[in-house]
Amino acid sequence: MDPDLALLLNGIVSGLLLGGLYAAAAAGLSISFGMLDVVNIAHPAFMVLGAMLVALFWGATGIDPLVLSILLTPAFWALGAAIYVAYHHFFERRGDEAIQGLAFFFGVMFIIEIGLVLAIGPEQHFADASYANTTWRLGEIDLPLRMLVPALVAFLAIGGLALFLRHSFTGRAIAAVAQDREALRLLAIDPVRIKRLAFGISIAMAALAGGALVVVQPVDAGSGHIFIGRVFAIVIMGGLSSLWGCVLAALAFGVVENVTASFYGPSWSPAVAFGALLLVLAVRPQGFFGRVA
Amino acid sequence: MSDATLPAMPVFPAPRRMGHGAFWLACAVAALALIAVLRGIGSEYAYFAATFVLQYVVLATAWNILGGYAGYVNFGAAAFFAAGAYTTVAIGKALGLSLLPCIGFAALVGGALGLGTGLLTLRLRGAYFAIATLCLSVVLQTLVVNWNYVGGSRGAYVIRPRDIPWPFDTYSGYLCAVAVVLAAAAIAIARTIEKSRLGLGLAALRDDEQAAEAAGVPTLRLKLIATTISGAMMAVAGAPLPLLGSYVEPTSAFGLAYAVNAIAMPLIGGTASWAGPLIGAVLLSSLQQAATVTISSAANLLIVGVVLVVFVCAAPHGILGLFRKGGR
Amino acid sequence: MEGLSRRGLGRAAVAAAITVPATARAQSAPSGEPIKIGGSMSLSGGLAGNGRPAGLTHKIWADEVNARGGLLGRPVQIISYDDQSSGAQVPGIYTKLIDVDKVDLVVSGYATAIIAPAMPVVMQRNRTFVSLFGTGVNSEFKYDRYFSVNPSGSNPNQTFAKGFIELAMAMDPKPRSIAIVNLDSDFHQRAAESARSLARSAGLRVVYDRAYPPTTVDFSPIIRAVQAARPDVVFVGSYPPDTAGLLRAASELRVNLQLFGGPMIGPHITAQKLQLGPILNNLVVWDVYAPEPTLQFPGTQPLIERYQPIAAKEGTDALGYYVPPMAYTQMQVLEQAVKKVGSLDQGALAKAMHETTFDTVIGPVRFDATGEWPEPRDIYTQYQGVQGNGIDQFKKAGTQVILYPAQYKSGELRKPYTAGA
């Protein structure tokens, strides 16, 4: 194969795998920020919290990190539900959630990060999956399982979530709460309960994303910072409340970053990716896949 | 908007309200008094701590013009702040100018950047605008990192001039006085905007942009004016930074701390009035400075997080809001 | 406004009252006023992984000195504040240390980004300043009381990669091309610059030369682009998070290179040594110390043995081969200079530091006119025979052999680097 073509194909494939990690990180936010209108800037911090816990438990038990992260999801769901109760009590109920809620999550982010530093230390932590050193090859295309398995697990989880949102009664109520809160009341559904449930799910997704992250790379308490911009960018490009849009945007983001890095050098890839988002925002603020408001 | 600077007396019949001229005068007197007090203390550490606090007063006040008055949350305060800092580096290196003209250039650069942001994000509101400013911060940081003239990722050294401007005894004293003047000017500008028709228009924008547009408020122009002024002032806040530390590098100049503090300080103080960012900035930054040199472990950042969460939960309209409620 | 600032100060006073600085509890076996030594240290933030072992080592030194009867018969007391890995905090910390705490001596925190912002404050008070792991700080300030504990010498942009390029050119067959990959940061830019110029003068063709930003998540495009350029030798400069990513990617893409490495800061940290395990085999890494018999000096081993149990208790870097010997040296230079001068006179201390050769745990140390080491001592090491992920193999000689410079050489270069395959 032509070396440039191989480079391009591998850039695209590795970008798709990277996009899988981004999709895992952004899916939870697509629920909280996209559907519930809760600007949870601390979402990547929850992801890092999940990753650090997985690393700790992995050190103690040696169970696969992704399995551990799935085991963590109920605890994270409860944590998310509790945080939503506080958020609702202090902000939504009063009707001034926009800026104050944002500051609240900023504070939560700080507390998580510093809490991790105080409790576990500022060093990097890691967890090795048994498959992390294996790479599948299709011709000249490499598929490292370190990236592939987390991406697949993420897609499975997102797929399951999408089915749940589309076909279960509760799931449809979650989708509806984003659109019209009053209509839910008429159906005798408590929108607060539904939103609590949904926010719990978004934080549970963060735990799963943490498992994926710690398989891909070592993490420290501040690892979430570089994801803040990316996950929000992805959710917006994906058109907020659309899970599929979020996945597609995540894949596109990964591919743009990696192809830029392959051909023009890695130093420009953040500018290209975020420049693209700025353009999207300026030209088509509802995102690629969003409905016109 | 030519009448934006008219005295606000007829619009606000409250008897104790101060006129613009009187307020500017009061700010100038307060600034002179503060400089005299600091000079009296004469400690280098007092100079430094005051400069640190005042730089946040300027930044928070500037952020509040757009964020508090117009309701547009700017996540990219660090980008404007760093733009100011790097203007000082670049202009100082290219033209060999001293701090004061550099501050002027920083205002121009920050204003242009603010106007550009405003134009690019015309159609964006709420969280979209916030995320767009976050992106701007990433793009700008990448540009600075790849711009070798100002040191790129290596950072740039800015050596303080040997001759200290009259009548100051040390360069830190001079920097501190500059910061006092900038803070006083920022507060006066913010108060002038708040009490003028521009402020009223921005408030209308914040409450309901569509209604304001329908009522004939030139929302677009107001928004651009606000982004420009706010951007220019944030850049001014960052302009003295290189001389304060003699060394700037992109990671810390674009640091999350500036973006977080610029939002947290007005929120803690109260976003509705010029006094809010002032109170919030003085409170939070002196707390941070004090915690750095007393507790001195990771716990001091934890305090900032806890204070922020407690305040937004317990006092949704900031400290000012608490007082207003008590007064009623 | 007065009321407001009083409110702020009141809160500060409360914060001060409820916390007694841990550093204030010095032993008072020696008599008299303690000699206060002040500095900033990164206990949180990105530099904390190395800042905490450095801070711990400073405490070990202080305890030892006090147990020996102190310095000039007085106890020593270390006052250090957390700079949160942010240079913006540093000027405030040093003005506080000098003006309010009235420290007698100042030392730096860890790394260039923390040292440089302290310089104007230190220079204004004419203090003698011993720094830790700063690269090229004084080339801008030209301060004659600055002394750097960092092996890269006064001209790292020229000399840093000397050992690496010499190792490459000594290989048989001679390499013809080189790829240079580095993190976009001050230290790695300088390292890459030296590799670039030395490679050119050695006749190596530079086939790939790019920097990557610290926000990079996926390193496979970089390694793949390097592979596509078909270099014989690859010089990489990276910090811990990226080192793991680069080596993982190298392993997944089955690299097979005659020589691979450089200032890849990563395996210097114990946790990463253990995680990477066999991927480290045949990797050539710049270092400052390795537990090899050729690099032992009086006090090295006792320091490591004192450090490791304390580190286990504090949860910092377990082995302590990278930062602790250097941080200890930083304090030894200060200690020996004070003893020689017999007072705390800053000018006399600086003079003594310029004139003396210090016996330290990393060997004899001298300073040139700019306060750097006159002869760089950049050590290039190679990990060999690593099996599994156990910690004990890294305590033995022969696991991280020294290839360069010749006087410390403890093993032969093994090729190629195949990332554990």
Rounded Cα gap, residues C231 and C243, in angstroms: 19
Q: Is residue B64 part of a domain?
A: yes
Q: Is residue A293 part of a domain?
A: no
Q: Is residue A291 part of a domain?
A: no
8 Å CB contact between C35 and C344:
yes
pLDDT tens string C251-278: 988 899 999 999 999 899 898 898 889 9
Q: Say which CATH architecture domain C157-287+384-408 belongs to.
A: 3-Layer(aba) Sandwich (3.40)
User: Token digits for B126?
Assistant: 């709420």
pLDDT tens string B268-283: 888 888 999 999 999 8
Q: Is residue A196 part of a domain?
A: yes
| Predicted local confidence at residue B178, as pLDDT | 94
| Predicted local confidence at residue C20, as pLDDT | 38
| Predicted local confidence at residue B152, as pLDDT | 82
User: Token digits for C248?
Assistant: 């993982």
Please tell me the least confidently modeled range out of A101-115, B101-115, C364-378.
A101-115
**Cβ burial, residue C102 (10 Å; 0-12/13-18/19+):** exposed
| Predicted local confidence at residue B248, as pLDDT | 86
Residue C15 has pLDDT above 80, yes or no: no
Q: Is C292 helix (H, G, I), strand (E, B) or coil?
A: coil
Rounded Cα gap, residues B163 and B181, in angstroms: 21
Rounded Cα gap, residues A72 and C2, in angstroms: 51
The stretch A23-36 carries a mean pLDDT of 90
Chain C nearest CA to B1, separation (Å)? 32
CATH number at residue A156: 1.10.3470
Q: Is residue B323 part of a domain?
A: no
pLDDT tens string C315-332: 889 999 999 999 999 999
Size of interface A-C (CB pairs under 8 A): 126
* Dihedral sign of CA atoms A100, A101, A102, A106 in order: positive
Cβ–Cβ of C218/A147 closer than 8 Å?
A: yes
pLDDT tens string C197-235: 999 999 999 999 999 988 888 899 999 999 999 999 999
In 3D space, the residue among C264, C218, C224 whose CA is nearest the CA of residue A212 turns out to be C218
Select the residue from A4, A112, A133 to test the C interface by mutation, using most C Cβ atoms within 10 A.
A133
Residue C304 has pLDDT above 80, yes or no: yes
DSSP element (H, E) containing C323: helix C323-341
Which homologous superfamily is C2-151+300-365 in? Response regulator (3.40.50.2300)
DSSP element (H, E) containing C132: strand C129-132
Rounded Cα gap, residues A213 and A227, in angstroms: 11
Please tell me the least confidently modeled range out of A147-161, B125-139, B269-283.
B125-139
8 Å CB contact between C150 and C184:
no
Cβ–Cβ of B283/C11 closer than 8 Å?
A: yes
pLDDT tens string B163-176: 788 778 888 889 99
Neighbouring subunits of A (3+ Cβ pairs under 8 A): B, C
Residue B4 has pLDDT above 50, yes or no: no
Chain A nearest CA to C415, separation (Å)? 21
The stretch C99-106 carries a mean pLDDT of 92
Q: Which residues of C touch B283 (CB under 8 A)?
A: 4, 7-8, 11
Please tell me the least confidently modeled range out of A210-219, A269-278, B79-88, C67-76.
A269-278
Question: What is the pTM (predicted TM-score) of this model?
Answer: 0.84
Residue C196 has pLDDT above 60, yes or no: yes
Q: Is residue A169 part of a domain?
A: yes
Please tell me the least confidently modeled range out of A25-39, C63-77, C361-375.
A25-39
The answer, for C350 touching chain B at a CB cutoff of 8 Å, is no
Q: Is residue B144 part of a domain?
A: yes
* Most confident stretch, A224-233, A257-266, B316-325, C169-178: C169-178
pLDDT-derived band at B298 (thresholds 50, 70, 90) equals: low
Residue A91 has pLDDT above 60, yes or no: yes
| Predicted local confidence at residue A176, as pLDDT | 80
pLDDT-derived band at C22 (thresholds 50, 70, 90) equals: very low
Same CATH topology for C2-151+300-365 and C157-287+384-408? yes
Q: Is residue B179 part of a domain?
A: yes
Rounded Cα gap, residues A176 and A185, in angstroms: 11
Beta pairing, strands C284-287 & C379-383: antiparallel
Rounded Cα gap, residues C198 and C165, in angstroms: 7
Planar angle of CA C402, C404, C410, nearest 5 degrees: 35
Rounded Cα gap, residues C247 and A128, in angstroms: 14
Residue type at C197 in one-letter notation: S
Q: C177: which DSSP letter? A: E
The stretch C17-24 carries a mean pLDDT of 40
Higher pLDDT, A189 or C262: C262
Q: Is C361 helix (H, G, I), strand (E, B) or coil?
A: coil
Cβ–Cβ of B267/A103 closer than 8 Å?
A: yes
* Most confident stretch, B110-114, B304-308, C4-8: B110-114
| Predicted local confidence at residue B213, as pLDDT | 83
Instruction: Kindly report the average pLDDT of chain C as a whole number.
Output: 88
Provide the percentage of residues in chain C whose pLDDT is more than 90.
65
The stretch B69-98 carries a mean pLDDT of 90
The stretch A56-85 carries a mean pLDDT of 94
Chain B nearest CA to A181, separation (Å)? 20
**Chain centroid to CA B290: how far?**
21
The answer, for C8 touching chain B at a CB cutoff of 8 Å, is yes
| Predicted local confidence at residue A66, as pLDDT | 93
Q: Is residue B128 part of a domain?
A: yes
Residue C184 has pLDDT above 70, yes or no: yes
Q: Which residues of A touch B277 (CB under 8 A)?
A: none
Neighbouring subunits of B (3+ Cβ pairs under 8 A): A, C
C87 → closest Cβ in B34, B245, B290: B245
The stretch C100-107 carries a mean pLDDT of 94
| Predicted local confidence at residue A287, as pLDDT | 65
Rounded Cα gap, residues B316 and B312, in angstroms: 5
Select the residue from A49, A83, A100 to test the B interface by mutation, using most B Cβ atoms within 10 A.
A100
| Predicted local confidence at residue A106, as pLDDT | 81
Which residue is listed with tokens 């000018």?
C347
Residue C164 has pLDDT above 50, yes or no: yes
> Which A residues in the span 15-44 are in contact with C, Cβ-Cβ below 8 Å?
15, 17-18, 21
Residue C250: CA count within 13 A, CB half-sphere: 29
The stretch A116-129 carries a mean pLDDT of 84
Which residue is listed with tokens 């550093």?
C23
Rounded Cα gap, residues A57 and A79, in angstroms: 18
pLDDT-derived band at B296 (thresholds 50, 70, 90) equals: low
Cβ–Cβ of A236/B128 closer than 8 Å?
A: yes
Cβ–Cβ of B247/C87 closer than 8 Å?
A: yes
What is the extent of the structural domain holding B140? 22-252
C245 → closest Cβ in A10, A217, A220: A217
Q: Is residue A133 part of a domain?
A: no
A266 → closest Cβ in C221, C251, C252: C221
8 Å CB contact between B167 and B32:
no
Residue C3 has pLDDT above 60, yes or no: no
Residue C145 has pLDDT above 90, yes or no: yes
Residue type at B27 in one-letter notation: C
Q: What are the backbone dihedrals phi and psi of residue A72, each rounded to the nearest 5 degrees, phi first?
A: -75, -20
> Which B residues in the span 152-171 are in contact with C, Cβ-Cβ below 8 Å?
152-155, 157, 159-160, 170
Rounded Cα gap, residues A56 and A65, in angstroms: 10
Neighbours of C50 (CB within 10 A): 29
> Which A residues in the span 170-229 are in contact with C, Cβ-Cβ below 8 Å?
216-218, 220, 222-223, 226
* Dihedral sign of CA atoms C180, C185, C191, C196 in order: positive
How many domains are there within chain B?
1
Please tell me the least confidently modeled range out of A98-112, B25-39, C60-74.
A98-112
Please tell me the least confidently modeled range out of A117-126, B10-19, B125-134.
B10-19
Return the biggest CA–CA distance within chain B: 58
**Which chain B residue's Cα is nearest to C102?**
B45
The answer, for C206 touching chain A at a CB cutoff of 8 Å, is no
Q: What are the backbone dihedrals phi and psi of residue C185, each rounded to the nearest 5 degrees, phi first?
A: -150, 165
Bridge partners, residue C149, by sequence:
C132
The runs of H, that is alpha helices, within C143-294 are 156-159, 162-169, 186-201, 220-228, 240-252, 270-276
Rounded Cα gap, residues A74 and A64, in angstroms: 17
| Predicted local confidence at residue C77, as pLDDT | 95
The stretch B1-28 carries a mean pLDDT of 60
> Which B residues in the span 262-321 are in contact with C, Cβ-Cβ below 8 Å?
278-279, 282-283, 286-287, 289-298, 300-301, 303
Neighbours of C68 (CB within 10 A): 11
For every residue of chain A, DSSP letters joined together read --HHHHHHHHHHHHHHHHHHHHHHHHHHHIIIIIIS----TTHHHHHHHHHHHHHHHHHHH---HHHHHHHHHHHHHHHHHHHHHHHIIIIITTT--HHHHHHHHHHHHHHHHHHHHHHH-SS-B----TTTT-EEEETTEEEEHHHHHHHHHHHHHHHHHHHHHHHSHHHHHHHHHHH-HHHHHHTT--HHHHHHHHHHHHHHHHHHHHHHHHHHS-B-TTTTHHHHHHHHHHHHHTTSS-HHHHHHHHHHHHHHHHHHHHHH-GGGHHHHHHHHHHHHHHH-TT-SSPPP-
User: Token digits for C242?
Assistant: 């990226």
Radius of gyration of chain B (CA): 19
| Predicted local confidence at residue A267, as pLDDT | 78
Rounded Cα gap, residues C87 and C334, in angstroms: 24
Rounded Cα gap, residues A208 and A24, in angstroms: 7
Provide the percentage of residues in chain A whose pLDDT is more than 90.
38
Which residue is listed with tokens 């480079």?
A7
Rounded Cα gap, residues C367 and C334, in angstroms: 13
Beta pairing, strands C259-262 & C233-237: parallel
* Most confident stretch, A275-284, B118-127, B178-187: B178-187
The stretch A113-128 carries a mean pLDDT of 84
The stretch A234-240 carries a mean pLDDT of 82
Percentages helix, strand, coil for chain B (3-state, rounded to 5) are: 75, 0, 25
Residue C27 has pLDDT above 70, yes or no: no
pLDDT tens string B190-238: 999 998 988 888 888 888 888 888 888 888 899 999 999 999 999 999 9
How many domains are there within chain A?
1
In 3D space, the residue among C249, C88, B67, C107 whose CA is nearest the CA of residue A261 turns out to be C249
Beta pairing, strands C177-183 & C233-237: parallel
What is the extent of the structural domain holding A28? 3-121+143-283
Q: Is residue A259 part of a domain?
A: yes
| Predicted local confidence at residue B120, as pLDDT | 82
The answer, for C122 touching chain B at a CB cutoff of 8 Å, is no
| Predicted local confidence at residue A238, as pLDDT | 84
The stretch A176-193 carries a mean pLDDT of 74
Indicate the Cα dihedral angle A169, A171, A174, A175, nearest 10°.
Answer: -100
DSSP element (H, E) containing C92: helix C90-95
Q: Is residue A263 part of a domain?
A: yes
> Which A residues in the span 98-137 are in contact with C, Cβ-Cβ below 8 Å?
114, 117, 120-126, 128, 132-133, 135
Rounded Cα gap, residues C253 and C248, in angstroms: 9
The stretch A282-286 carries a mean pLDDT of 71
Residue C8 has pLDDT above 50, yes or no: no
Higher pLDDT, C218 or B294: C218
Q: Where are the domains of chain C?
A: 2-151+300-365, 157-287+384-408
Q: What are the backbone dihedrals phi and psi of residue C130, each rounded to the nearest 5 degrees, phi first?
A: -105, 125
Size of interface A-B (CB pairs under 8 A): 129
Residue C11 has pLDDT above 50, yes or no: no
Classify C412 in phi/psi space as left (phi over 0), alpha (psi -120 to 50) or beta: beta
| Predicted local confidence at residue C24, as pLDDT | 41
Rounded Cα gap, residues C163 and B203, in angstroms: 65
Neighbours of A211 (CB within 10 A): 32
Q: Is residue A38 part of a domain?
A: yes
